[in-house]
Amino acid sequence: MAEQSPPYWVLISVLFSSQPLTPSLAMTLHQVAYDLYRRGDAVQPVAGDLLTGKVHNLRKNVQMGAISGPAFEAEIETERGSGVVRFLLTRQGLEMMEAGMEAGPPQPPVPPRPKYLN
């Protein structure tokens, strides 16, 4: 049986969005932000069937209630027009992604980070 990916609401928490987010748009933003987080880069373009734009790594951790994680901002163009999405990758989602990673090409080491409650 194929392993299913976790639902997007476990991986990403949207703080603000001027465009309605579909599950596929949320997962696209999550994947780009996760790549930025792992590499430590500042900006990465994002493109999909109905999406173009950039995702910016804000390089800070934010907390909203019991949810915390690294913050990102996306400037996007969709069929509904341009918009901005501010979001964070949840610690729970990051741990799930790191645990599920398969061995691939070597990646630069990620500096250790403090443990959070969530």
Give pLDDT tens digits for 56-98.
999 999 998 888 999 999 999 998 899 999 999 998 888 888 8
Residue 95 confidence (pLDDT): 87
Residue 102 confidence (pLDDT): 42
Cα–Cα distance list, 117 to 12, 47, 67, 76, 91 (Å) = 17, 34, 9, 32, 9
pLDDT digits (tens, 9 = 90+) for 1-29: 445 566 666 788 888 999 888 888 888 99
Domain total in the chain: 1
Asked whether residue 63 is domain-assigned, the answer is: yes
Q: What is the residue range of 51's domain? A: 8-96
Asked whether residue 115 is domain-assigned, the answer is: no
**Phi, psi for 108 (deg, rounded to 5):** -65, 145
Asked whether residue 21 is domain-assigned, the answer is: yes
**Phi, psi for 17 (deg, rounded to 5):** -150, 125
pTM for this model (two decimals): 0.76
